[in-house]
Structure 1
Amino acid sequence: MQNPLVDMAEWPGLELLDPLTGGHRNPVFLARYRGRSVVVRQSGRPIPTLEWELDLLEHLDSNGVRVPRIVPAADGRRFVGPVLVQEFLPGGPPRTEADWRNVLAVLRDVHALGVGWTQRPGFASARSLLIESVGGDVDLGAMPSDAAALVQAAWLPVLDGALETVVHGDPGGGNVLVAEDGSVGLIDWDEARVDVPAFDLAGPYLELTDLGVRDEAWRDAMVAGLAWEAATCWRAEPVYARRRLAELRTALKSQ
């Protein structure tokens, strides 16, 4: 298949196959290149922001975290314009308590490896966004003032005394792959940044709660995660963001 949005001339012989679900903000395709399955992504990020992501993935891969490796263009470049090609990681979404416990363990490895990493260009942590209004996909100034204040208040409990490190940013079921041997892979690092680990743990905590595992200690992270999703999706996915904001109001009223 051909897609007018994606120019694959720098990967001679690459064949686009099918669009992949989950690429809400950027086109993502399954493809075939030199006899293996790969993923083609068109990034909307500025070059320094994309370079930061790829440097991070190389760091994590070299330290044993299962992430997609870059498939360079014929001339060795990691990406050409907005287009990059990565290896296809096999696996399916986590389904059991044991799966999600393994996900948490891998995320904690990521957080340990990311201590001291510089902030992604153009992004900001939640702590910084208590003072600033813009960072990454978050623009608090675009939200109603009461909604922005609610979001910031929901972040406060997880920020108190927490060390900032690299976070994946969106480790939900669609971005987590469990292989047949049980190993966990993390894909789609488009929203990765430096922040407090609670924002990565919120999604797995919610999944475990849905599986019947209860822990009140998780509550602050889950509420902060709701607030982050409302803020980061406010412009790009407004219907979803407003639904998350409504859930946040409900959660805060029940505290």
Structure 2
Amino acid sequence: MTRCELSGGRVTPGVVRVGQTVRRPMGPRAPFVHELLRHLDGVGFVGAPKLLGVDDVGREIITFLPGAPMPGTVILGDAEILSAAMLLRQYHDAAAGMSADVLGRHETVVHGDLGSWNILWLDGNAVALIDFDEARPGERLEDVGYFAWKGLRLVAEGPLVEDQRRRLSILAEGYGVRVDDDLLDAIEAAVAWLTDKGRAEAWPDDALAQLDGKRRWLGQVRPRLF
């Protein structure tokens, strides 16, 4: 049986393909992720791996899906942005059907780390989401804002602000929201969330300083993104 190590994702190292399955080390939130994957499979959402079980060394077994992730430094094209936005909307709609015991007062289950690195792409289309280790009950705009920031590279070294305004419009159209204060608040909240996570996990000072710089830059260009 063919075995090979897989790239992509940023959370879980040691992911291995075995035949038509993928074996992944289980994280501390594996029970929640497994419940999510079972739900997605049960409602017919095909844009995520199916959970098949756990192997004899304690790794989760999921289905291998066609496609490949792209690095976070890539500049997505218009069609890729639209495709990813539509897939994200489909995922949120599917996850929103989880029980009230899971969701509480939240709208859905957010992916939590959505970028080109956690999407499988096939012929320029976003076909599946992977690596749900950061998934948690939350609001739809949390993922939309995070993807707008990280996936569209809404940073000083990314595309020009005037082009980013157009790219944001494509993302919003594909998902079904508007480019308004709520979306821009969600983008800034994504930076704040990652900064808080970095502080909690004692990231290096220079990494936290870079995040602070990105937050300031977003505040400066915000009026030009409408």
TM-score by structure 1 length? 0.61
Spell out, residue by residue over 1:78-114, the C-alpha distance to the aligned partner (whole angstroms, 9 max, x if none). 4667521222222134732111212111211222223
Report what 1:230 is aligned to: 195
Matches of 1:109 and 1:186, distance apart in 2: 11
Q: Secondary structure at the match of 2:4?
A: strand
Which residue is equivalent to 1:38? Answer: 21
Partner of 2:214: 247
Q: For 2:147, which of 196, 201, 204 is the aligned residue?
A: 204
Question: What do the CA deviations read for 1:19-73 (whole angstroms, capped 9, x no partner)?
Answer: 635344x3332232xxx2432211231xxx322211211222332231112233x
Query: Relative to structure 2, which stretch is displaced further, 196-205 or 85-94?
Result: 85-94
- RMSD over equivalenced CA pairs, Å: 3.3
1:29 aligns with 2:15: yes
Distance, in Å, in 2 between the alignment partners of 1:19 and 1:67 is 16
Quick check: 1:115–1:166 contact (8 Å CA) kept in 2? yes
Residue of structure 2 in register with 1:146 after alignment? none
Q: Kindly tell me the number of residue pairs found equivalent between the two proteins.
A: 192
Find 2:136's aligned residue among 193, 202, 205: 193
**SS state of the match for residue 31, structure 1?**
strand
Partner of 2:48: 67
- Counterpart selection for 2:83 from 102, 108, 119: 102
Give the CA deviation at 1:241.
Answer: 4.4
Alpha-carbon distance between aligned partners in 1 of 2:30 and 2:101, rounded to the nearest angstrom: 9
Within a 5 Å distance, the mapping from 1:115-130 to structure 2 comes to 115=96, 117=98
Among candidates 118, 142, 148, match of residue 175 of structure 1:
118
Q: Is the 8 A contact 2:9 2:130 kept in 1?
A: no
SS at match of 2:128: strand
CA 1:105–1:243 in 2, change beyond 3 Å: closer, same or farther?
A: same
Alignment match of 2:68 (pick from 84, 92, 95)? 92
Unpaired segments of 5 or more residues in structure 2? Answer: 71-75, 169-178
Give the AA of the match of 1:17: C
Find the aligned partners of 2:10 and 2:120 in 1 and give their Cα distance.
15
Q: Is the partner of 2:40 in helix, strand or coil?
A: helix
After the TM superposition, which of the residue ranges 83-92 and 243-252 deviates more from structure 2?
Answer: 243-252
Looking at structure 2, the residues matched to 173 and 219 of structure 1 have their Cα atoms a distance apart, in angstroms, of 20
The alignment status of 1:113 with 2:78, answered yes or no, reads: no
Equivalent pairs: percent with the same residue? Answer: 26
Query: In structure 2, how many angstroms separate the alpha carbons of the residues matched to 1:68 and 1:120?
Result: 23
User: 1:20, 1:29 within 8 Å by CA — same for their partners in 2?
Assistant: yes
Distance 1:203 1:100, change over 3 A: farther
1:81–1:224: structure 2 CA closer, same or farther, 3 Å change rule? farther
Report 1:38-57 matches (<5 A).
38-45=21-28, 49-57=29-37
Aligned partners of 2:101 and 2:24: how far apart in 1? 19
Q: Report the secondary structure of 2:5's partner residue.
A: strand
Query: How high is the TM-score relative to the length of structure 2?
Result: 0.68
Q: Which has the larger radius of gyration?
A: 1
Residue 171 of structure 1 deviates from its aligned partner by: 1.1
Distance 1:178 1:233, change over 3 A: same
* C-alpha distance in 1 between matches for 2:40 and 2:97: 14
